[in-house]
Amino acid sequence: MKYARIFSLVFLVLLTRCTSERTKLTHFPQRWHYDTPTPVAFDNLKDQGVKVIKFRVDSIIGGGARVGDTVYLPPLRDIPLGPHEIFFYITYPDGHREVIRKKFTLYARKPPARWKYRIVAEYPHDIHAFTQGLEFSGDTLYESTGLYGKSSVRKTDFRTGRILKKKNFESDIFAEGLTLWGDSVLVLTWQNGKGFILDRKFNRLGEFPYGKSKEGWGLCHNDRVIYKSDGTEKIWILDPRTLEEKDYFNVYAYQNKIKRINELEWVEGKIYTNIWQKNALAVINPDTGEVEAVIDLSELVKRVKHHPDLDVLNGIAYHKERGTLFVTGKNWDKIFELEILRPEPVPPPRPFSLKP
């Protein structure tokens, strides 16, 4: 097995080294978009009689038709956003073959929509709560807070801000995001390399270690899997039975990689997140990792009490029955209930018909 791997590597290196004998790429965009055809151009393919170029990206193998010296590659789907390599396999009419290898990055298919919101209500929030995680169970709001020596998990009456139950963590624990799974409360730590499993009364039932994720930042779930952010562009997918990290996807918008993904919330089939140090939410398609919409919440910061410990927006909780989103921030004295104003989807055009 080991020798087979070495052999394929040597073979690949040899193939790659004998590239560009007869042609080279003259146009190759570094930035590709999901599900969008990409044209690349070579020099003198036409004169040499090459009709079709085969390519491979991950497990996708396909062909691109040549028009002049440009080759139109079909839309790429079902592969993660982020960095990739493509191999072009060129066969000339006389049987000579070449391989050209290039790197590119796959971004979202279109720029994010800009969604608006309406403030439904404002409620009191503990001004000393360094909010990390926020999630509803019915009308009860669960919240985790961070900082060494101040980390806690609590449940509150969202209308009054009254704390119904609170438990502090040990002083060497910096708590992060939380999610509710069955009868348990899962709370991350930032850099302690593990999360805690608590019951709804906050008794500790166990711990779970992190896998390849770097740190603990945010959690949410969709009743099938648990999603975890780690402060990078990655969202990890955890098996809810074992809390093992099974997979991840990268989050990209049309123009940029989304780093520092923080608190998470599952809302009607999408993952809402706030980005650390940005007073905005991003709406992520969990099937592709694309940012489909952004919601600018910078106006909310102007409505909270300004004091020396005031920190960034963090904390998103969806109230299913009310259909509203609750957002707050670290040491904010308010929690806002928002109605998100999603534009109506544009219906597809009716097919053209000559029949009356």
Q: What does DSSP assign to residue 75? A: P
Give whichever of 112 and 133 is closer to Ca ion, judged by the CB atom. Answer: 133
Give whichever of 23 and 328 is closer to Ca ion, judged by the CB atom. Answer: 328
CB of 180 to Ca ion, least distance (A): 10
CB of 227 to Ca ion, least distance (A): 10
Give whichever of 179 and 285 is closer to Ca ion, judged by the CB atom. Answer: 179
CB of 205 to Ca ion, least distance (A): 21
Sheet holding 113-114, edge to edge: 113-114, 291-296, 280-284, 270-275, 261-267
Q: Which whole-number Å values give the CA distances from 233 to 7, 39, 174, in the listed order? A: 34, 27, 21
Question: For 121, phi and psi rounded to 5 degrees?
Answer: -160, 165
CB of 75 to Ca ion, least distance (A): 33
Amino acid letter, 108: A
CB of 162 to Ca ion, least distance (A): 20
Within 10 Å of residue 302's Cβ, how many Cβ atoms? 8
CB of 178 to Ca ion, least distance (A): 7
Which residue in the shown chain puts its C-beta closest to Ca ion?
A: 265
Q: Which two tokens stand for residue 309?
A: 């410990």
CB of 47 to Ca ion, least distance (A): 59
Give whichever of 135 and 245 is closer to Ca ion, judged by the CB atom. Answer: 135
Q: Whose CA is closest to 132, among 120, 119, 143, 116?
A: 143
Give whichever of 23 and 331 is closer to Ca ion, judged by the CB atom. Answer: 331
Q: Whose CA is closest to 197, among 188, 177, 206?
A: 206
Give whichever of 132 and 232 is closer to Ca ion, judged by the CB atom. Answer: 132
CB of 186 to Ca ion, least distance (A): 12
Radius of gyration over every alpha carbon of the chain, rounded to an integer in angstroms: 25
**Ramachandran bin of 95, using left for φ above 0, alpha for ψ from -120 to 50, beta for the remaining angles:** left
CB of 181 to Ca ion, least distance (A): 13
Give whichever of 64 and 216 is closer to Ca ion, judged by the CB atom. Answer: 216
Q: Whose CA is closest to 202, among 223, 221, 216, 183?
A: 183
Dihedral sign for Cα 80, 81, 87, 91, please: positive
Rounded distance between C-alpha atoms, residue 178 and residue 143, angstroms? 7
Amino acid letter, 299: E
Rounded distance between C-alpha atoms, residue 218 and residue 325, angstroms? 17
Give whichever of 297 and 316 is closer to Ca ion, judged by the CB atom. Answer: 316
Residues in touch with Ca ion (CB under 5 A): 134-135, 265, 316
Within 10 Å of residue 239's Cβ, how many Cβ atoms? 12
Q: Which whole-number Å values give the CA distances from 278 to 87, 135, 215, 285, in the listed order? A: 38, 20, 19, 20
Give whichever of 38 and 144 is closer to Ca ion, judged by the CB atom. Answer: 144
